[in-house]
Chain A
Amino acid sequence: MDRYTGDTGYTSVSAANCLDVHYRPQTGRQPNPFLQRLVCAPYSLDTLSGILSDTLLLRWLGNSLIVASLHTLLVLTLCSLTAYALSKLNVPGGKWIYLLILAGLLIPLEVIAVSQFQVAKNLHLLNTLTVLIVPGAAAPFTVIVLKTFMDAIPDELIESAEIEGAGKFLIFRKLILPISASSMFALGILAFLQSWNSFLWPFLVITDMNKFTLPVGIPTLLSSFTVDYVTPMAVSMLSSLPAMLLFLIFQKKIVKGVAFTGIKG
């Protein structure tokens, strides 16, 4: 990691660095050293390109994107189908199934992580991306919020569609899904962020560096004891960028989504 230090040291524009190195008692009017350094620093992209070529960061970024996207897709598919069935199809024992799902909401996954690990091991799923995508896909929270939402869709609407000859699945696809789109979107963003930031589970089930996601991979590149601050800063920035962009683009919808789900769930 030492190769990233040296002349490129000023690429990290951190307040601590600048204060530490450049604060001196000033006599008379002189240009502000902080600003001067900020403007004239020898900026370069060497560190970034070095990190990209020498580490697996891009690979982890790719893994994170694949895992979080597929996870989100799976959550939305499984949960919306189930919510639809529980809300609009007269499922025998539906009330009991709903209670069983509600019970899952009370169980923090951190507490059963060890036995989940053993189950994943028995199924030979350790060190696969599947084990990061599938287990959390049956999300009780998402089902409950979606069911609450679908309960509010009037049955008359569905009956009139049935009279026109639409089947159950067509009604789901052409009627229920478009109406639920906004809450699906919000829940999808939350599922994406949750998977993106998930730490404990990937930490337990993945040991192959090529299969790491960002939260598990980053610490292997960071060390708080080296004199090199640039690499860790660049790593942190690169890895935070996609989630930040996602947030900034969809800010309004996320805020609405959290507010919506927060009150119902």
Chain B
Amino acid sequence: MPHNRLNLKRRYGYLIYILPFMLVYLVFTLWPILYGFYMSLHKWGITGPISFVGLHNYQYLLKDEMFWSSLGHSSLFVFISTPLMVVLALGTALLCNLGTRWKTFFRTGFFLPTVLSVTVVSYLGTYIFNPSIGLVNTLLRYVHVLPQGSNIDWLGNTPTAWLAITLVTLWWTVGTNMLLFLAALQDIPDSLYEAAALDGATPLQRFIYVTLPQLRSIMGVIIMLQIIASYKIFPQIYYMTKGGPNNTTKPIIQYIYEQGFMNDRLGYSVSMSVPLFIILLALALIQLRLRGRSEGGIQ
């Protein structure tokens, strides 16, 4: 008997290590994915009867203008924020990599906002862009760009609201990308710069011919991560503009939330996550492909 138990332990002992993780993973990640597809085929409220409706939710989706416009808004945000985010992250990373004694100060300053809660960040955003008492308008009046007594309603107009949302998000999250760039910058061997210096390359030439090519693979990763992160935007907008004016800043996640939990249409809201899921999965796969290729290139 003891021999058998030992055998059992040897054969299935690994299960103790894997089961707890797999249990949580199955119940809260893999199962909800399948369950979501199942839910999307039903008329499904938070309370009340559930009935099978087949593909009706998806048919409705195709004709739902609000779905398309909110998906468009999220895509618009991706389109504006990604280039800014990447360029600014690279710039700040270069600044931190200069080797001056301000390095720690810069690094802390640029990264610290990322530990703030999104609700605090959004509140500061509404406060800074407030038309009458906000910092931005006050400063503009102070330097006489804006006449005394007049206001710009930053969050009340569509283009400026997008500008404000983008700036706040940029300030809040640029630190993470900066750290990724910084790590890559520090991995570039000094010998490359020394060789370039011997050949008489100016600092600008060194940046273009040494730094940029070395950063190519991490740049690809950051762009993809940023696109995916930007598609998930929701709380900043929810608290800064509530999706207004006139729903022109409403992102897709907010619309999913509203349909599911405020209009009690969980089935329909889940069906909206399917196209979003496909977009994000496609982007993630492209990222994996690109990364695979760049890593293959190094080896």
Contacts and interface: CB of A to CB of B under 8 A. Distances in A.
Nearest to B137: A16
B94 interface: no
Contacts of B273: 111-112, 114-115
B183 A263 contact: yes
B179 A222 contact: no
Interface of B: 13-14, 16-18, 20-22, 24-25, 27-33, 35-36, 39, 44, 46, 107-108, 111-112, 114-120, 122-124, 126-128, 130, 133-135, 138-139, 142, 176, 179-180, 182-184, 186-187, 218, 221, 228, 231-232, 234-235, 239, 253, 256-257, 260-261, 266, 269-270, 273, 276-277, 280-281, 284-285, 288
A236 B18 contact: no
Contacts of A8: none
B253 A259 contact: no
Given A20-B133, A81-B17, A106-B280, 10 more contacts: A81-B20, A86-B18, A89-B17, A136-B28, A168-B13, A200-B257, A218-B119, A240-B120, A247-B115, A258-B183
A137 to B, nearest CB: 5
25 contacts: A14-B135, A17-B133, A19-B139, A77-B20, A78-B21, A81-B17, A81-B21, A84-B17, A85-B17, A100-B30, A108-B231, A110-B234, A112-B273, A114-B36, A115-B32, A199-B234, A199-B235, A200-B234, A200-B235, A229-B133, A239-B120, A244-B112, A255-B179, A260-B183, A263-B183
Contacts of A197: 115-118
A201 B260 CA distance: 14
A134 interface: yes
A143 B21 contact: yes
Contact of A16 (B116, B138, B253): B138
Given A78-B24, A193-B115, A218-B119, A258 B176 contact: yes
A196 B116 CA distance: 9
A224 to B, nearest CB: 4
Contacts of A86: 18
A42 interface: no
Interface string A227-251: 0010010001001100110111001
Interface string A175-204: 000000000000000000100110110011
Interface string A93-133: 00001001100111111111011111111010000000000
B95 to A, nearest CB: 15
A107 B37 CA distance: 14
